[in-house]
Structure 1
């Protein structure tokens, strides 16, 4: 009887045990399609994280709202107060975001705010980005005013340590087809004792010729030959004909 009871209990236990789960083969899929979320209108989306802090995002949004409403006093207040409170990295990130969204008028105001900061030193890379933004947005007169301000008021940028930044700045002016500004910049570089390297010399020669400035290209080519043969340049500025409109 005990044997029968034990067998019955074992059968009941086995009957009540759930069947072992089978490992179903995973379906074979191709690469997952990326999911992208875009803005609901033509404005570029704001980038979070390392690019823009919350403070920078709020400042950019406030600037755009005030500009869209035509409230110039509020725009001025935001530039002088809100942007002025941002740390260096956030202010430069806000400037880059306005440039990315082609808000060139607000970007100029943010750039002016950055140049008023105690930490600011003349940065031709920032000038090059601003020139590219203005050229992309069809604002050639603002490029003239921006570069004129650089040549007149900024100091410390004519240095052999800035060769890379100077080359980038000149490339931006070439891309904007600002031949006169290229001539002016080269004249300032030459009178300031800066000597381009071979790459910048040849880039200036080709670029000026492409823009129809043969006289300026020939002068730069003569300077390049002197530099190549003697290792230095004379200090006199370019002839007056190169500065004509």
Structure 2
């Protein structure tokens, strides 16, 4: 029995060798998280809710039937909250559905929360321009000018947004609309910054609106250092 116990003990030792307390323990390295501020910003209007998706699908299924489209606009679309309506508008623009997008844009303008936003107009102009809907751009700008006249608060003081709108109008070849926008800014006492001045001058010259470009350049010289020593803006 004693011999058998010794053999069994030896087998245990072989199977489960004792660990030495002097063995070096693994070194723990600290884990450092990478920077979190380099993530891209969320894009407004690209997160679609279920309600927005259903409204978009209903509008697309309606095809070109104006009666059905108007019924959807006055029904499901009218019940969308602001963020969902703007998201649906951006998605239709992304899918190059400009006529449906224009319907949603006009519906948004009737909402109580609506405030004129030059960035929204710029996106709408770009969507229409991609689909060669020139006359619709003219109507949109005309409505915009009429909407802004006589109001205490206008969007012309949003210089960055106005620059986006002017850039989209220039890309669409709408020199007359750009001149109307600049006239509105002057009537409402809004002064562009240097970037917008240069954008207007170069864009108008490129479209052949030389007289208008010269007028803007004169205003730029008055604005820039009181008109003293201002160089001509290069084309």
TM-score range, shorter chain: 0.7 to 0.9
Give how far 1:153 is off.
2.2
Q: Which residue of 1 aligns with 2:25?
A: none
Specify the alignment match of 1:129 in structure 2. 123
SS in 2 for 1:98: helix
Instruction: Say whether the 8 Å CA contact 2:93–2:124 is kept in structure 1.
Output: yes
Structure 1, unaligned runs of 5 or more: 14-48, 232-245
**What is the 5 A alignment of 1:41-80?**
51-67=47-63, 70-80=64-74
Question: Does the 8 Å CA contact 2:126/2:172 hold for their aligned counterparts?
Answer: yes
1:197 Cα offset (Å): 1.3
Distance, in Å, in 1 between the alignment partners of 2:102 and 2:155 is 23
C-alpha spacing 1:223/1:124, structure 2 compared with 1 (3 Å): same
Correspondence for 1:157 among 154, 158, 162: 154
Distance in 1 between residues matched to 2:181 and 2:82, nearest whole Å? 27
Matched, 1:92 2:89: no
Residues 1:230 and 2:187 are matched in the alignment: no
RMSD of the TM alignment (CA)?
2.6
1:82 is aligned to 2:79: no
- Corresponding residue pairs, total: 197
Structure 1 distance, partners of 2:159, 2:173, is: 21
Equivalence for 1:166 = 162
In structure 2, the residue matched to 1:216 is 212
In structure 2, the partner of 1:31 is: none
- 1:146 is aligned, of 140, 145, 148, to 140
Moved more, 221-230 or 80-89: 221-230
The CA deviation at 1:157 is: 2.4
* Contact 2:46/2:91, CA 8 A, preserved across alignment: no
Distance 2:174 2:46 in 1: 34
The SS at the match of 1:144 is helix
Q: TM-score, normalised by structure 1?
A: 0.72
Q: Label 1:104 to 1:226 Cα distance change in 2 as closer, same or farther (>3 A).
A: same
Cα separation, partners in 2 of 1:185 and 1:76, compared to 1, 3 Å: same
- Distance, in Å, in 2 between the alignment partners of 1:81 and 1:223 is 48
Any gaps of 5 or more consecutive residues in structure 2? 13-44, 228-235
Query: Deviations for 1:129-186, whole angstroms, at most 9, x for unmatched residues?
Result: 00000011111111001000000124432543x1111111111111111111101111
* Partner deviation per Cα, 1:47-86 (whole Å, 9 max, x = no partner): xx9710011001001100012xx43222111111111111
Quick one: structure 1 residues 5 and 228, their matched pair in 2 at CA, closer, same or farther if it must change by over 3 Å? closer
1:224 CA displacement: 1.1
Matched, 1:110 2:87: no
**What is the TM-score when the length of structure 2 is the normalising length?**
0.75
For the residue of structure 1 that corresponds to 2:102, the secondary structure is helix
